[in-house]
Amino acid sequence: MSLVRRITSAFFTALPGAFFLFLVIATPGMRREYYWITIFVAVLVLFGSALVLGFLQPSWLRPKWFWIIAMGFVALLLALFVTAILNVTPLCVGQDNGDGNNSFGMCMGYVVLYAVFYGIPYMVLLTVSAVIGHWVMNRGLRL
């Protein structure tokens, strides 16, 4: 597979992660919250792993959209794993959330909530990005 196709695949795989990274950085007042570092690191892992995994597209794979979605999903799982690891540290456990201190169960519940409330929009954006990326790689690029 040509370098241009690999870069295109990486771009469309990482595009939804870039959107979420922009949202985290652009949200006013987010840096004052105790969970800022956890969320920021998780979104960086999401974006970075999607970029790297999107670059690894094999040349024999025909439905390009499938590979983009699969690698984006793996990046999402990796980001959720990193979030779970960070949430068992004092970055979450024992922090005052306004109603008391976070417990271990509460911090793991946050990971589940992140998976539901951020994972679903991420997968929708990833699907749209994969369809557009598939079209670009099959019809737009003649390299």
Residues 129, 122: Cα–Cα separation, whole Å: 10
What's the pLDDT at 59?
Answer: 61
Mean pLDDT (the chain, rounded): 87
Split at pLDDT 50, 70, 90, the class of 142 is: low
Residue 141 has pLDDT above 80, yes or no: no
Task: Provide the angle, in degrees to the nearest 10, between the axes of the packed helices 104-117 and 64-87.
Answer: 160
Give the rounded percent of residues in the chain with a pLDDT score beyond 70: 94
pLDDT of res. 60: 65
The span from the CA of 44 to the CA of 117, in Å, is: 18
Q: Which two tokens stand for residue 6?
A: 């690999």
List the domain boundaries for the chain.
Answer: 3-140
Q: How far apart are CA 129 and CA 121, in angstroms?
A: 12
Mean pLDDT of all residues in 109-113? 91
In the structure, what pLDDT confidence band is assigned to residue 140 with cuts at 50, 70 and 90? low
Look at residue 46 in the predicted model and tell me its pLDDT: 94
Phi-psi region of 10 (alpha: psi -120 to 50; beta: other; left: phi over 0): alpha
